Amino acid sequence: METTETKYQKYLPKDYKSEIAVRWCPGCGNYAILNCLHKALAELNISPHNTAVISGIGCSSRLPYYMNTYGFHTIHGRAAAIATGVKVANPALSVWVATGDGDSLAIGGNHFIHALRRNVDINIILFNNKIYGLTKGQYSPTSARGFISKSSPYGTVEDPFRPAELCFGARGTFFARAIDVDMKTQVEVMVEAARHKGASVVEVLQNCVIFNNGIHNKISDRAWKDDNTVTLKQGEKMIFGKENNKGLVLDGWNLKAVTIGEDGYTLDDVLVHDATTKDNTLHMKLALMDTADNLPVALGVIRNVDAPTYEREYERQIAEVQQRTPRKSFTEFLLASPNVWKVK
């Protein structure tokens, strides 16, 4: 579809902000995500009228109301499928999905994996607070085994999904992770997600101040963040730590966190991040790193691979067919079809 933009305009974060008062709980991590999205869109300079933000149901999914863009707050779990329709219908739009761990990984799991498999060019921001907030505190598909909640008073007896694992299992081409309090990384990965042609997942580890306060503290708290996370950058060494002296190395088939200069490890041993390798084995290992295994949690763009996008391939097929067969009116088409006879 044509855009009617006539002159260059530089957009500011406030241009993406709607006039509606934001109604999340005070201290909710969603505020930061919203601000980061405003900033990322301004950095990308995508015009608000060419932006569509689609959401499902849950706290996260109220986000479109706070955007001065086209917005659609839909039904539980279906945002990825609706966004697929929007993007395929008009590939010129920048299409975003705001969703939560319950919305996309439980009731909407099917749409989530198939949107990734198709590689339709939508940007999914997955707010992961490991809890159902809007229904007031039930465990979610990302809650850890044994997690006690209103719907699991004795602790859950099921293992959680790890979003990255699901994303790679569905052949996702882009996965990034950020923490709600780390606005810089968030904006960076959102910008990268938008630039990626294909389905992008940005997992934001988000704090639910009311029902799951502090769930990400081990990595979000300043006291531990530097030692417990590594922010991956394309083409750079995987270095982390308060002193910036820790690194990730390969130890057999596994990743290992080492201190540079100790146990014989030098900077040369530290791995260089490449998000663009087609093989996702190392991306998977990086994405699943956990402090419980003495490994830092990976942040930043973990996987970013080029692949044909669904909506462009669809348009390419249409163009090819139309090139082969000259455009007809509907009546002309019928008259030219087989089994036509004339009554005189």
Partner 1 sequence: MPTNAVVTDIKQVTIRFSGDSGDGMQLSGTIFSTLSAIFGNEIATFPDFPAEIRAPQGSLHGVSGFQVRIGAKDVYNSGDKTDVLVAMNPAALKVNTPFLKKGSIVLFDTDSFQKKDLDKALFQTQDPFKELSLDHVQPIGVAITSMTRSSLEGSGLENKEMLRCKNMFALGIVCWLFNRPLEIADKLLKQKFSKRPKIVEANIKVLTDGYNYGNNIHLTASTYRIEPIEASKGFYTDVNGNTATAYGLIAAAEKAGLPLFLGSYPITPATDILQELVKRKDFGVKALQMEDEIAGITSSIGAAFAGSLAATSTSGPGLALKSEALGLAVITELPLVLIDVQRSGPSTGMPTKSEQTDLNQALYGRNGESPLVVMAAASPTDCFECAFTASKIALEHMTPVILLTDGYIANGSSAWKIPNMEHYPEIKPPFVENQFSGDASAWSPYLRNKETLVRYWGIPGKPGYMHRIGGLEKDLLTGIISSNPENHQQMVHIRQQKIDNIARYIPEQEVLGDRDADTLIVGWGGTYGHLLEAMLHIRDNGRKVAYAHFRHISPLPANSHDLLRRYKKVIVAEQNNGQFASYLSGKFPDLHTICKYNKVEGQPFKVIELVEAFTHMMENK
Residues that bind partner 1 (CB under 8 A): 1-5, 18, 20, 47-52, 54-55, 57, 64-65, 67-75, 78, 81-90, 92-93, 110-111, 114, 314, 317-318, 321-322, 325, 327-331, 333-335, 337-344
Strand, coil or helix: 14: helix
CA–CA gap between residue 328 and residue 215 (Å, rounded): 60
* Min dist. Cβ of residue 26 to partner 1 (A): 19
Q: Which is nearer to partner 1, 105 or 179 (CB)?
A: 105
Q: Residue 328 to residues 318, 325, 339: CA-CA distances in angstroms?
A: 14, 8, 18
Q: Which is nearer to partner 1, 7 or 222 (CB)?
A: 7
Helix 79-89 / helix 109-118 crossing angle, nearest 10 deg? 30
* Min dist. Cβ of residue 294 to partner 1 (A): 39
| Other CB atoms within 10 A of residue 99 CB | 32
Question: Pick from 44, 49, 43, 72: which is nearest to 2 by CA?
Answer: 49
* Min dist. Cβ of residue 76 to partner 1 (A): 8
CA–CA gap between residue 155 and residue 142 (Å, rounded): 14
CA–CA gap between residue 239 and residue 177 (Å, rounded): 17
Beta strands in 44-115, from DSSP E residues, in sequence order: 51-55, 70-73, 94-100
* Min dist. Cβ of residue 58 to partner 1 (A): 12
* Min dist. Cβ of residue 80 to partner 1 (A): 8
* Residue 324 CA to its chain's centroid (Å): 38
Q: Which is nearer to partner 1, 112 or 240 (CB)?
A: 112
Q: Which is nearer to partner 1, 9 or 294 (CB)?
A: 9
- Within a 13 Å sphere around the CA of 253, how many CA atoms are in the beta-carbon half? 2
Q: Which is nearer to partner 1, 76 or 256 (CB)?
A: 76
* Min dist. Cβ of residue 316 to partner 1 (A): 10
Q: Which is nearer to partner 1, 57 or 305 (CB)?
A: 57
CA–CA gap between residue 230 and residue 142 (Å, rounded): 21
* Min dist. Cβ of residue 337 to partner 1 (A): 6
Q: Which is nearer to partner 1, 89 or 267 (CB)?
A: 89
Residue 140 and residue 102 in contact, taking contact as beta carbons nearer than 8 Å: yes
Q: What is the phi/psi pair of residue 72, to 5°? A: -145, 110
Q: Which is nearer to partner 1, 109 or 137 (CB)?
A: 109
* Min dist. Cβ of residue 157 to partner 1 (A): 28
